Structure 1
Amino acid sequence: MGQNVIPHNAITLIHAYHERTKHRLDAYAAGPDFLDWADQPDPFRSFRGAGRLALPLAPGQPQTPYAQLFAGPGIIPPSSLDLPHLALLLEVSLGLSAWKAHADQRWSLRCNPSSGNLHPTEAYLICPDLSGLPAGVHHYHSLDHTLERRLIPGPSWEEAWPDQGVLLGLSSIHWRESWKYGERAYRYCQHDVGHALGAIRLAAASLGWETLLLNDWGDEAIARLLGTDRGHEFPEEEQEAPDALLWIGPMRRRPEPLPLLQAVDAGRWAGQASRLSPEHLRWGVIGEADAAARKGFGAPSSACPPAPLPPVRPARSNPSAGQIFRQRRSAQRFDAKAPGLPGTDFIRILDALLPRPGVPPFDLLPWTPAIHPLLFVHRVEGLEPGCYALPRHPGSEDRLRSSLRADFLWQNVAGVPDHIPLRLLRRGDTRDFVRTLCCHQAIASQSLFAVAMLAEFAPRLEEGAWWYRWLHWEAGLLGQSLYLEAEAATLRGTGIGCFFDDELHRWLGLADRQFQSLYHFTVGQAVDDPRLTLLPPYGPR
């Protein structure tokens, strides 16, 4: 397998990108001077000339209780790996969830969240010949819930599949985010990969399927498999960067890269990628960061497996997984006077953020947890307002304590089960601070609680610059869990990518890059806009 050409100073370049794209109280990271709405990227890529296969829809499915997803491995019997169930997987993870309309304007919502609803993430289903689904590489077109057959494989394709299962690949179109967010957009594209990974893992779990992130594959090989390395078939400024590759099926055997790629090379590609915008602004630093963060073939050091924990605490209600997947939304405004969050609901949300062997979505990541939430509690019954820490791995608490300010309390919290390591750092009302921290956005202070996700930064990057992407993926995966847990608690969440990085670091007493804040989130009682009409995702429009 070939290795990517990675700059020799890749880690230095990634550190420089991260510093350059920090928002600061006196200056935001470089972005467009104004939004050129005529140039807004099309959120739906298609491939002209590729064969199209309409997928069946399954409204209301899956009926699996949402709480059952976290009951442990083997609880949900596996569904047959066929066209209807694969279509359902795509529908409830990457498909449309609704349309919103106001006056003569209309825009779509999806099951997987995205910064600014811009959706840079593209998905490809790679499969052997299945009943009703021909073998090959298929691009998923969420607008019409169809598969576009990009690759008709060579004769050795079926021999490359040792067991029943499929591959699902993800890529990013950085232009979709940089149109609005400029140089910081590369961060948001990686968050969205994490959101998509979480959506896919939980959707697969609802069908009884296991999922494995193939972190040993190199980016060059992923691009070759997905066809995203075929630059002449994509508009110049709208290339797709390879991201992640997932195996969905039995964990016994999965396809080996070399035979599969040889079968790809012997196949026939079809389709030309649609143009998304008539014009483009160039953000060269994104290309530099992307090149630096590419990964070659081979798995990094093995992870420390998570310790067994008691089952995730049950929620007060037990909706179906399909209901929760489809109703996920990003709140635009919260009711600042809503009653406090019941403490049992808050504990359930925290419990679901802890990794457990064989329990989705965090069993997807083949590394020791590197993201640890700080929680700014505004209104939770039974908890003092203040700042709390939730170290997600036993060895991380000591590292956090040694890096954060010395006057933090690190007190255990009464009434919280022993296996949930919630620690009180500082008492007091943090609403004004959190609002300022999150680029002066009121939604961060009107919520019931807000979250800042601290990453084990410099130590992980020492292993390779690609960890920059993986850290953001893990943060996005936590965000997806928070989105769904908020819905299960009859609340709503919102991811926040705009925050003043070093303002939080100073407040925490961080003096170096051992830890960095990568993503923020907030949960509360949503206030819906009565002017908006909600329309079904598919059907007549």
Structure 2
Amino acid sequence: MNIASPHSPAPVVPPAAPAQAAGIALSPALVVRLYHRNTKHRFQAYAMGPGVLDWDAQPAAFRQYPGASAVVLPLIDELDPASPLAQAMAIPFGALPAPAPAQPATLAAIGALLQLSLGLTGWKSLGPDRWAVRANPSSGNLHPVEAWVIARGVAGLADGVHHYRPEDHALECRARDLDAPAGSPRLQIALSSAMWREAWKYGERAFRYCQLDVGHAVGALRYACALLGWRLAEQRQVGTATLAARLGLDRDADFPTHRFPESEREEAEILFTIELDDLADEAAPTPSALRAAAAAAEWYGQATVLDPRPMFRWPIIGEVAVATRRADDDAPRRTLSVPCTLPATRKTAADTGTAHPSAELLLQRRSAQRFTPEYVMPRSAFADLLRALKPHAGLPWDALGDPARITLVLFIHRVEGLEPGLYVFSRDGGAAAPLLARLQQPFSPQRVEGLGDDLDLRFLQQFETVQLHRLARSLHCHQDIAANACFALGMLAPFDAVVAEDAAAYRDLFREAGLLGQVLYLQAENLGLRGTGIGCFFDDPVHELLGLDGEAFQTLYHFTVGKAVDDPRIESTPGYPAREPQRG
């Protein structure tokens, strides 16, 4: 994900966050509003962040728990080519909305799940610099998201909590459940955020980017589950504190301590049950059961240091994290059913001879660094991409237990048959209606014909090519990538009413935006194109362009799609080169 944002210099200890400065307790909703306002980029100044970066002092990209035993997971290339699991990896990407045969919960299947969603997909080098790229994109390639597997009844894996180490594709046992009930295999997967990895570079805006990264990871997990014939069900009844306890993130003695301990801690984010069979109700955990399991478990290992000498502090990140934590809910979990309602006659990459084996495509995903400004995107490809963004396109929209809220505003530069200009795409008519009503005041939205009756794309305003180029570049922190793409887009979400009802939904909005980004990445890859997420944009100038005032709607994340131009200077090597000889 490209979030190249310059920052105004910040002191070693920035001014206190609004709630601290006031010396009073603010409501969670007000804390969220203050955070969101204070972390906007403006033409006059960027959000608070470090003035300089010492790349030699970057926080550790990987965390381990020495003292915890580890199980090395099989890689996809090590599978028997004739096995059902290996054959599932070759399912065409365009066929994924259809249910795949369910694979048994083995170490090999869990290894495939994690490799396709969170594992390393390659190493890049340019001169003396070398860095890893992963299946899930991340803001600035900093990867705050850590993954956890909670297993029961899986051969070769202890019952309990396991931390995923992507650098060597292994699970290390953090907690062994000594009294786990016998039964068929059960799996849960959880995500946490080491927020300092983002804050080190992006300062106060880092909380936004961590939530986007969680959304990207959720999308990557859901696509990988689809190949295995599994479903991913968010467990919204489990609160943040309960999840932290189950993962051991609240065990102070297990984490490094120094002057700024917040730089070493992780934030519990989200818990999923992996539905392996028809016993979904049995697999849904209760908060009390999770806390009891954590208390009775035998714990192992202590976390390695992320940053021994943090140079800055950003108290506002901690404030908004606390304000958006979810409480336990004893009500039954909600399952969001999203049936696939795409027309059977739609044209896909498979129809044009460009179908990709799903595993191959998931592992080849990259963020484009540059686009060629000459390429024109075919109209049919553009229509297929828009269809995949509709919540009734099937997966991955069933992963999150929350309705679709985001509407897309597009800066279309070069799409066959479409005039350069500003457009709005309604993914869901009901969700988009309030925004469209607001846009009718400065514009007269006209529906674009010829894309298909199921696509509600509306034309807002035409621009000269050069004018649109300058506008898109200017609004996206003066980045050429937003102007040279076939199109750029912004993700507009209802904000004020959503946050007023539930401050924790602030995370949900960004996660939906990240999930959208993951779909865009993979759909672009399947079309022979490439995408790039953009977190650096000037928030309010985007709203002003659309005639939006107040905070009823806010833009949360931007994205571009086009024909990528690769940098020949960058060398690539496999993600797990040391294990290459073992592949059959």
Fold match by TM threshold 0.5: yes
Q: Which moved more, 1:430-439 or 1:113-122?
A: 430-439
User: Structure 1, residues 425-446: CA drift from partner, whole Å, max 9, x if none?
Assistant: 1122422111100000000001
1:333 is the counterpart of 2:370? yes
Which among 407, 431, 443 is matched to residue 396 of structure 1?
431
Whole-angstrom distance in 1 between the partners of 2:296 and 2:542: 52
- Residue from 348, 356, 359 that aligns with 1:319: 356
The letter of the residue matching 2:529 is L
- How far apart, CA to CA, are the structure 2 residues paired with 1:217 and 1:508? 38
Counterpart in the other structure of 2:22: none
1: CA distance, partners of 2:458 / 2:482: 21
CA offset digits 1:237-260 (Å, max 9, x no partner): 210001010111233421432223
- Offset of 1:405 from its aligned partner? 5.4
**110, 114, 133: which one pairs with 2:138?**
114
Match of 1:244 in 2: 270
What is the match of residue 389 of structure 2? 353
- For 2:570 and 2:336, locate their aligned partners in 1 and report how far apart those are by CA, in whole Å: 47
* 1:363 counterpart SS class: coil
Contact 1:228 1:239 in 2 (8 A): yes
Q: CA deviation at 1:308?
A: 6.2
Kindly provide the amino acid, as one letter, of the partner of residue 204 in structure 2.
E
| Shift in Å, 1:301 | 11
Q: Which residue of 2 aligns with 1:4?
A: none
Partner residue in 2 for 1:230: 251
Task: Confirm or deny: 8 A CA contact 2:236 2:334 kept in the other structure.
Answer: no
Structure 1 residue 313: Cα displacement: 4.5
| 1:244-282 Cα shifts (integer Å, max 9, x gaps) | 101112334214322233122111111111101221121
User: Aligned pair 1:70/2:97, yes or no?
Assistant: yes
Show the counterpart of 1:130: 154
Identity %: 44
- CA distance in structure 1 between the aligned counterparts of 2:562 and 2:545, rounded to whole angstroms: 24
Shift of 1:305: 6.2
Q: TM-score scaled to structure 2, two decimals?
A: 0.87
How big is the alpha-carbon RMSD for the aligned residues of Structure 1 and Structure 2? 1.9
Cα distance in 2 for partners of 1:264, 1:423 equals: 51
Counterpart selection for 2:27 from 3, 6, 9 = 9
Q: Which amino acid aligns with 1:190?
A: Q
* Offset of residue 304 of structure 1: 8.6
1:18 aligns with 2:49: no
- Secondary structure of the residue aligned to 1:158 is coil
Distance in 1 (CA, whole Å) between partners of 2:416 and 2:105 is 45
User: For the residues of structure 1 that align with 2:339 and 2:289, how far apart are their CA atoms?
Assistant: 36
Could you tell me which amino acid in structure 1 is paired with residue 460 of structure 2?
Answer: L
Say whether 1:270 aligns with 2:268. Answer: no
Q: How many angstroms apart in 2 are the aligned matches of 1:301 and 1:432?
A: 47
Do residues 310 (structure 1) and 347 (structure 2) align?
no
Residues 168 and 285 (structure 1 numbering): CA distance in 2 closer, same or farther, change over 3 Å?
same
Q: Deviation of residue 22 (structure 1)?
A: 0.1
Distance in 1 between residues matched to 2:505 and 2:514, nearest whole Å: 14
Q: Offset of 1:133 from its aligned partner?
A: 1.6
| Residues 154 and 265 in structure 1, CA contact (< 8 A), matched pair in contact too | no
Partner of residue 309, structure 2? 279
Are residues 151 and 300 of structure 1, via their aligned partners in 2, closer, same or farther at CA, if it must alter by over 3 Å?
A: closer
- The answer to whether the Cα contact below 8 Å between 1:306 and 1:393 also exists between their aligned partners in 2 is no
Q: Are residues 1:501 and 2:539 paired? A: yes
Alpha-carbon offset, residue 407 of structure 1: 3.4
Tell me which amino acid in the other structure corresponds to 1:105: D
| CA contact 1:374–1:451 (8 Å) conserved in 2 | yes
Asked if 1 retains the 8 angstrom alpha-carbon contact of 2:242 and 2:290, the reply is no
1:300/1:419 Cα in 2 relative to 1: closer, same or farther (>3 Å)? farther
Match of 1:3 in 2: none
Aligned pair partner of 1:450 in 484, 488, 493:
488
Which residue among 404, 412, 418 is the counterpart of 1:377?
A: 412
What aligned pairs does 1:100-249 form with structure 2 within 5 A after superposition?
100-155=124-179, 157-158=180-181, 164-235=185-256, 236=261, 237-249=263-275
Residue 437 of structure 1 is matched in structure 2 by 475
8 Å contact kept, 1:194–1:474: yes
**Aligned residue identity for 2:73:** L
> Runs in 1 of length 4+ with deviation above 6 angstroms?
299-305
**Does 2:497 match 1:459?**
yes
**Does the CA contact (< 8 Å) of 1:313 and 1:351 recur in 2?**
no
Worse overlay, 313-322 or 84-93: 313-322
User: What's the CA shift for 1:303?
Assistant: 9.1
Q: Equivalents in 2 of 1:301, 1:269: separation in Å?
A: 28
Displacement after TM superposition at 1:314 (Å): 1.7
Aligned length: 527
| One-letter amino acid matched to 2:396 | P
